[in-house]
Amino acid sequence: MNRLTRSTFVLAATLALSAPAVAEEATPALKDVFADDFRIGVALGEHQILGREPGVLGLVARQFNAVTAENVMKWAELQPVEGDYDWAAADAMVDFAADHEMRVTGHTLLWHQQTPDWVFEDADGNPVSREQLLERLENHIHAVVGRYKDRVRSWDVVNEAVNDDGSMRDTPWYRILGEDYVTEAFRIAAEADPTATLLYNDYSLFLPAKRNGVVRLMKKVQAAGVKVDGVGLQGHYGLGHPEDMQDLADSIAAFAGLGLKSSITELDIAVLPFPSPDHFGADLNVNMALNEQYNPYTEGLPADVAAQQAARYRQVFEVLLAHADDVERVTFWGVHDGHSWKNGWPMAGRTDYPLLFDRQLQPKAAFWSVVGLKGVTPAE
Ligand code: 9MR
pLDDT in tens, 22-70: 455 689 999 999 999 999 999 999 999 999 999 999 999 999 999 999 9
User: What is the model's pLDDT at position 279?
Assistant: 65
Among 312, 310, 239, 321, smallest CA distance to 280 is for 239
What is d(CA 28, CA 64) in angstroms, rounded to the nearest whole number?
A: 11
What is d(CA 17, CA 13) in angstroms, rounded to the nearest whole number?
A: 6
Per the annotation, the verdict on 191 as an active-site residue is no
Work out the average pLDDT over 249-263. Answer: 99
Among 136, 116, 140, 118, smallest CA distance to 127 is for 118
What is d(CA 232, CA 148) in angstroms, rounded to the nearest whole number?
A: 20
Q: What is the number of residues in the chain? A: 380
Work out the average pLDDT over 231-250. Answer: 97
What is d(CA 310, CA 24) in angstroms, rounded to the nearest whole number?
A: 19
The response to whether residue 295 sits with its C-beta less than 6 Å from ligand 1 reads no
User: What is the model's pLDDT at position 25?
Assistant: 66
Residue 1 has pLDDT above 70, yes or no: no
Residue 16 has pLDDT above 50, yes or no: no
The response to whether residue 114 sits with its C-beta less than 6 Å from ligand 1 reads yes
Residue 236 has pLDDT above 80, yes or no: yes
Residue 268 has pLDDT above 90, yes or no: yes
Work out the average pLDDT over 292-314. Answer: 97
Which residue(s) pair with 363 in the sheet?
357
What is d(CA 262, CA 200) in angstroms, rounded to the nearest whole number?
A: 10
Q: Which phi and psi (to 5°) does residue 311 adopt? A: -65, -40
Q: Which phi and psi (to 5°) does residue 109 adopt? A: -80, -35
Return the SS3 of 238: strand
Which residue(s) pair with 13 in the sheet?
none
Return the SS3 of 329: strand
Among 111-115, 172-176, 284-288, 309-313, whose mean pLDDT is lowest?
Answer: 284-288
C-beta of residue 329 within 8 angstroms of C-beta of residue 40:
yes
Per the annotation, the verdict on 184 as an active-site residue is no
* Residue 184 banded pLDDT, cuts 50, 70, 90: very high
Please tell me the distance between residue 174's alpha carbon and the centre of ligand 1 in angstroms.
20
Q: Is 10 exposed, middle or buried, given 0-12, 13-18 or 19+ CB atoms closer than 10 A? A: exposed
Among 93, 65, 41, 31, smallest CA distance to 331 is for 41
Query: What is this structure's pTM?
Result: 0.93
Residue 362 has pLDDT above 80, yes or no: yes
User: What is the model's pLDDT at position 39?
Assistant: 98
User: What is the model's pLDDT at position 19?
Assistant: 41
Mean pLDDT of the chain: 93
The residues, any chain, with a CB within 8 Å of residue 183's CB and separated by 6 or more, are 220, 221, 224, 226
Probe residue for ligand 1, chosen from 72, 77, 108, 113 as the CB with the greatest number of ligand atoms within 8 Å: 113
Higher pLDDT, 1 or 214: 214
Q: Distance from first CA to last CA of the chain, Å, rounded?
A: 34
pLDDT digits (tens, 9 = 90+) for 279-299: 677 788 778 888 888 999 999
Largest CA distance in the chain: 75
Residue 3 has pLDDT above 70, yes or no: no
**Helices and strands in the chain: count of H runs, count of E runs:** 14, 9
pLDDT digits (tens, 9 = 90+) for 348-358: 999 999 999 99
C-beta of residue 376 within 8 angstroms of C-beta of residue 321:
no
Among 60, 372, 66, 354, smallest CA distance to 236 is for 354
What is d(CA 255, CA 274) in angstroms, rounded to the nearest whole number?
A: 29
User: What is the model's pLDDT at position 20?
Assistant: 46
- Percent with pLDDT over 90 in the chain: 87
What is d(CA 195, CA 204) in angstroms, rounded to the nearest whole number?
A: 28
Closest ligand 1 atom to residue 333 Cα is 1
The residues, any chain, with a CB within 8 Å of residue 61's CB and separated by 6 or more, are 100, 102
Work out the average pLDDT over 242-256. Answer: 98
Q: Tell me which of 53, 160, 184, 328 is the catalytic residue.
A: 160
Domains defined along the chain, listed by start: 6-372 (3.20.20.80)
The response to whether residue 46 sits with its C-beta less than 6 Å from ligand 1 reads no
What is d(CA 201, CA 303) in angstroms, rounded to the nearest whole number?
A: 34
The response to whether residue 252 sits with its C-beta less than 6 Å from ligand 1 reads no
